[in-house]
């Protein structure tokens, strides 16, 4: 690995100062499960790495406030899947987070890191989009909220500006009855990147929100009804790569959509 | 950078380069070579250690991130000359072939049993999904973990 300066700030102010001083060759380190791989491969060659895990007020908590479940940026996949509040309201997110990497990865990898990495195949992105997640961002200039549907710009690219830090992710607690589910296909059952993934939710009126990953340059959110799954999945723009062909992905999206809808309808009836 | 942490119950203070991983630090600086390097990208689990009680891939953690933490490696499982029940079960069940993956397997299994003292075979497979064995000796490894769980519950 190429040498870099390592900072472990204890306050937000120090984080912003370090981000400013070393911009643009600076990387934020949370769980490190994606960053470390890229540091080693040489794909990222930052001058500085800012480890945010010991910043005072850095939250590894999941807190319910004003109709929103706020997931701190320090929350790992392991924390997420074992939280009763997440299990109760956001089952598709639990299903997605439980299949990210291995136990060892899930013990380090954070939900915030998964979206900041902006992989088109990120497993937590489709359920987060379906649930209407909002990203809380802070910088020297202040704080702002970015709907997740506007957060992804391309593979590895997000709407975060230089000097901005994700502090938490808000999940609006559903006010009306809905059922939701997550599906994915992989080459092997465990510890693989998704060939394609998909999440959907359906309400009593039959309105469907659906999002899919590894099927377009960014995880894509589409809406429709139970009768329009074909039109919805036709909005994907998959590519062919080592994990699957474009035509296969396109065909499987519809299959996954039907499966996810069936599970969602079952949960809606419960 | 100066780094202080606890490894297998002993306090350690060393200088370490900021870009060195916990795995490199354990093997090259501390001399604990039981923890293995294989894929170096979090796929194979050979470098698994317990960091503050949680199984992690030590190849994906910077040594400096562990300041003030407690690390357990395979060398730390034996107590007063007595092997850990998991180590004994791996021997008794003939679960070790070439042995390279075993330290990581045992630490992943240690974490699994700590979280779930009575895992089903499916849960054992899930818990060890991040650990690859190139000898493909999985069924005896699963036998050993099941046995160690049983022994611990008695």
How far apart are alpha carbons B31 and B35 in whole angstroms?
10
Given B30, B52, B76, the domain boundary residue is B76
Contact A1 B41 (CB under 8 A): no
Task: Considering only the beta carbons, identify the residue of A6, A49, A102 that sits closest to B130.
Answer: A102
Shortest CA distance to A108 belongs to which of B20, B49, B11?
A: B49
Shortest CA distance to A82 belongs to which of B118, B116, B146?
A: B116
Would you tell me which residues 86-145 of chain A have a C-beta closer than 8 angstroms to some C-beta of chain B?
Answer: 101-105, 107-108
What six digits make up the tokens of A214?
Answer: 């590894």
B151 and B138 Cβ atoms separated by less than 8 Å: no
A158, pLDDT greater than 80: yes
- Which H or E run includes A265? helix A246-269
Q: What is the CATH number of the domain that holds B136?
A: 1.10.150.120
Shortest CA distance to B87 belongs to which of B70, B64, B54, B110?
A: B110
Q: What percent of chain B has pLDDT over 90?
A: 97
Find where tokens 């109760």 sit. Answer: A88
The answer to whether residues B147 and B111 belong to one domain is yes
Q: pLDDT per residue over B64-112, tens digit each?
A: 999 999 999 999 999 999 999 999 999 999 999 999 999 999 999 999 9
A107, pLDDT greater than 90: yes
Q: Which domains does chain A have, with CATH numbers?
A: 5-51 (3.30.43), 62-172 (3.30.465.10), 178-269 (3.30.390.50)
For residue B25, what pLDDT is reported?
Answer: 98
When divided into structural domains, chain B yields a total of 2
The answer to whether residues B112 and B51 belong to one domain is no
Q: For residue A70, what are the contacts with CB-CB under 8 A and spacing of at least 6?
A: A59, A62, A63, A64, A136, A168, A169, A170, A171
Q: Does A48 touch chain B (CB under 8 A)?
A: no
The answer to whether residues B136 and B99 belong to one domain is yes
* Strand order, beta sheet including A5-7: A5-7, A48-51, A26-29
Minimal Cα–Cα distance from B2 to chain A, Å?
A: 12
The answer to whether residues B145 and B90 belong to one domain is yes
Contact A32 B61 (CB under 8 A): yes
The answer to whether residues B91 and B149 belong to one domain is yes
Minimal Cα–Cα distance from A221 to chain B, Å?
A: 30
Q: What is the CATH number of the domain that holds B59?
A: 3.10.20.30
CA A96 to chain centre: 9
Given B76, B104, B126, the domain boundary residue is B76
The answer to whether residues B53 and B105 belong to one domain is no
Other C-beta atoms closer than 10 Å to the C-beta of A84 total 8
pTM here?
0.96
- What domain range is B68 assigned to? 2-76
For residue A121, what pLDDT is reported?
Answer: 96
Q: pLDDT per residue over A178-196, tens digit each?
A: 999 999 999 987 788 999 9
ipTM here: 0.97
The answer to whether residues B28 and B67 belong to one domain is yes
Contact A102 B18 (CB under 8 A): no
Q: Does B12 touch chain A (CB under 8 A)?
A: no
């Amino acid at each position: 690995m190429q040498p870099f300066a390592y900072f472990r700030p204890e306050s937000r102010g120090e984080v912003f100062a370090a981000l400013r001083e070393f911009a643009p060759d600076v990387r934020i380190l949370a769980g490190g499960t994606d960053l470390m791989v890229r540091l080693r491969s040489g794909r990222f060659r930052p001058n500085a790495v800012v480890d945010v895990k010991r910043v005072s007020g850095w939250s590894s908590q999941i807190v319910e406030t004003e109709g929103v479940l706020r997931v701190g940026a320090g929350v790992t996949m392991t924390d997420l899947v074992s939280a009763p509040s997440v299990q109760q309201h956001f089952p598709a997110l639990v299903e997605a987070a439980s299949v990210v990497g291995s136990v060892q990865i899930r013990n380090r990898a954070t939900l915030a890191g998964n979206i900041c990495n902006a992989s088109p195949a990120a497993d937590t992105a489709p359920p987060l989009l379906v649930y209407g997640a909002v990203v809380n961002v802070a910088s020297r200039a202040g704080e702002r909220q970015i709907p997740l549907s506007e957060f992804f710009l391309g593979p590895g690219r997000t709407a975060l500006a230089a000097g901005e830090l994700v502090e938490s992710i808000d999940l609006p607690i559903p006010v009306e009855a809905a059922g939701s589910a997550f599906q994915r296909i992989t080459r092997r059952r465990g510890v693989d990147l998704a060939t394609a993934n998909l999440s959907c939710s359906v309400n009593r009126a039959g309105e469907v929100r659906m999002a899919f990953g590894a099927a377009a340059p960014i995880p894509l959110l589409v809406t429709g009804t139970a009768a329009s799954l074909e039109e919805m999945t036709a909005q994907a723009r998959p590519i062919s790569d080592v994990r699957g062909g474009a035509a296969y992905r396109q065909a499987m999206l519809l299959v996954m959509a039907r499966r996810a809808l069936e599970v969602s309808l079952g949960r809606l009836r419960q | 950078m100066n780094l202080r942490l606890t490894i297998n119950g002993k306090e350690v203070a060393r200088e370490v380069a900021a870009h060195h991983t916990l795995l490199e630090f354990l093997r090259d600086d501390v001399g604990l070579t039981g923890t293995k390097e294989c894929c170096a990208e979090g796929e194979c689990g050979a470098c698994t250690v317990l960091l503050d009680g949680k199984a992690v891939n030590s190849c994906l953690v910077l040594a400096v991130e562990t300041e003030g933490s407690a690390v357990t490696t395979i060398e730390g499982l034996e107590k007063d000359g007595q092997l850990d029940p998991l180590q004994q079960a791996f021997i008794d069940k003939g679960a070790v072939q070439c042995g390279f993956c075993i330290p990581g397997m045992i630490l992943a299994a240690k974490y699994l049993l700590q979280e779930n003292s009575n895992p089903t075979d499916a849960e054992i497979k899930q818990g060890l999904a991040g650990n690859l064995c190139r000898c493909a000796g999985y069924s005896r490894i699963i036998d050993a973990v099941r046995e160690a769980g049983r022994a611990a519950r008695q």
